[in-house]
Amino acid sequence: MTVVDFLNLLIAALLLAGTYAAMAVGMTVIYGVMKIVNLAHAGFLMMGAYFVYELHERAGINPLVAVVLAFPVFYFVGMIVHWALGRGVPVSDTPTLASLLLMFGLWLVLQNVGYLVWGTDDRAILTPMTFATIRFGEITIPKIGLVVFASAVVSLAALEFVLHKTWFGRSIRALIQNRYSCRIVGIPVERTARLTFGLGIAFAGAAGGLLALLYPFSPDFGRPFLLRSFVIIVLGGLESFSGVFVGSLILALVETFSILIVPSSYQPAISFSLLVIALIVLPGGVAGFVARRRRLA
């Protein structure tokens, strides 16, 4: 492998990591605050993809504008879902199987509504950027990848700002740490949980729109990405936002560079294998692993 090949792969991995982070962060906030493993994440990724697709095809709206529009729309969808499933999604300390199955049922519903509305055909969002590349000597960067990466980074930066500088964001972080203390200091737990659920779904929808710019999609679009999201948040230690970036980077690097070793037909198995390994070897995520090593040293 030449240096140029290496750099090309590295850039591809970095661009992918940014998108992955935007995709997984929605799952992290919901897990962190409510301890719900949101299997319906896959369904909302898919819905986000079709949302952007429809706006682009029918109304001729620029896909990136559509992604921005996806945020408020899916935010409200998320709040409505949380309201409707109220008794099924309590704020709890440990993840329950009931909420897992509930979210799984929601995923089935979303997926098959998708099939009913859009059929089984693969769709793709094609823009003039889709096949364009930027060249720096021998290094080529796909333009669309760069744009998607930039949008993901901007949305994550906005999220960081909300989490650290607003009352709502601070209460989310407080809820992740300890929800009993939250009640004492006057944080409305249920209301924050609902807003957080909305936030998580908003990110799922928007990330689905971004992914749709990179890959063709069908109503089964979310499944591989659901598992990838889960790999990422497990690697990142489930509740930590900085962990999401670490996890995305690891997954993207492994997926990209494994092309060199693993035959391409076995590629889909990589993230799943990584998931099982991560769950078993790194139960506290990478951060937990580092902390443990530090304690031992």
Partner 1 sequence: MVRALPPLLLLGVLAILPLSDLGPNSVKVLFLTFVAVATSVGWNILGGFAGQVSFGFAVFYGLGAYTTAVGINLGVSPYATYPLASAVAAVASLLVGLPTFRLRGPYFAIATIGVSEATRVIMTNLEFTGGASGYRITEHVPFRQIEHYYTGLALASLAVAVSIIVRRSRFGLGLRAIRDDQEAAADIGVNPYAYKLGAHAIAAALTGAAGGVYARYAAFIDPEGVFGFPRSVGILLMPVIGGVNTISGPVIGGGVYGVIEEELVARFPQLHLLLYGVLVMLIILFEPGGVIGLLQRARRLALRRKVASWQPS
Question: What mask, x for binding partner 1 by CB under 8 A, covers residues 135 to 154?
Answer: --------------------
Q: Which of 218, 273, 284, 289 binds partner 1 (CB under 8 A)?
A: 273
Q: Which of 104, 168, 257, 289 binds partner 1 (CB under 8 A)?
A: 104
Q: Which of 54, 61, 69, 95 binds partner 1 (CB under 8 A)?
A: 95
Binding residues for partner 1, total number by CB under 8 A: 40
Residue 75 binds to partner 1 (criterion: CB under 8 A): no
Residue 257 binds to partner 1 (criterion: CB under 8 A): no
Residue 109 binds to partner 1 (criterion: CB under 8 A): yes
| CB-side neighbour CA atoms (13 Å) of 59 | 11
Residue 107 binds to partner 1 (criterion: CB under 8 A): yes
The answer to whether 106 and 43 are in contact (CB under 8 A) is yes
Residue 254 binds to partner 1 (criterion: CB under 8 A): no
Query: Hey, which residues does 142 pair with through a beta bridge?
Result: 133
**CA separation for the pair 277, 262 (Å, rounded):** 17
Report angle CA 149, 154, 160 to the nearest 5 degrees: 125
Strands (E), 132-227: 133-136, 139-142
Structure tokens at 155: 């949305």
Structure tokens at 266: 């076995």
Residue 279 binds to partner 1 (criterion: CB under 8 A): yes
Q: Which of 115, 131, 161, 215 binds partner 1 (CB under 8 A)?
A: 115
Residue 113 binds to partner 1 (criterion: CB under 8 A): yes
For residues 194-211, one letter each, b for 16 or more C-beta atoms within 10 angstroms of the residue's C-beta and e for the rest, the string is: bbbbbbbbbbbbbbbbbb
Residue 94 binds to partner 1 (criterion: CB under 8 A): yes
Question: What mask, x for binding partner 1 by CB under 8 A, covers residues 196 to 235?
Answer: ---------------------------x---x--x-----
Residue 21 binds to partner 1 (criterion: CB under 8 A): no
Residue 37 binds to partner 1 (criterion: CB under 8 A): yes
- Least distance from partner 1 to the Cβ atom of residue 217, Å: 16
For residues 37-71, one letter each, b for 16 or more C-beta atoms within 10 angstroms of the residue's C-beta and e for the rest, the string is: bbbbbbbbbbbbbbbbbebbeeeebebbebbbbbb
Residue 108 binds to partner 1 (criterion: CB under 8 A): yes
Residue 25 is inside which H or E element, if any? helix 3-34
Residue 71 binds to partner 1 (criterion: CB under 8 A): no
Residue 260 binds to partner 1 (criterion: CB under 8 A): no
Nearest to 115 by CA among 209, 218, 39: 218
Residue 265 binds to partner 1 (criterion: CB under 8 A): yes
**CA separation for the pair 44, 32 (Å, rounded):** 18
Q: Which of 47, 66, 106, 199 binds partner 1 (CB under 8 A)?
A: 106
Handedness of CA 113, 116, 118, 122 (dihedral sign): positive
State the angle between helix axes of 143-165 and 3-34 in degrees (0 to 180), rounded to the nearest 10. 30
Residue 258 binds to partner 1 (criterion: CB under 8 A): no
Residue 284 binds to partner 1 (criterion: CB under 8 A): no
| Interface ranges with partner 1 (CB under 8 A) | 37, 85, 87-88, 94-98, 100-102, 104-113, 115-116, 223, 227, 230, 263, 265-266, 268-269, 271-273, 275-276, 279-280, 283
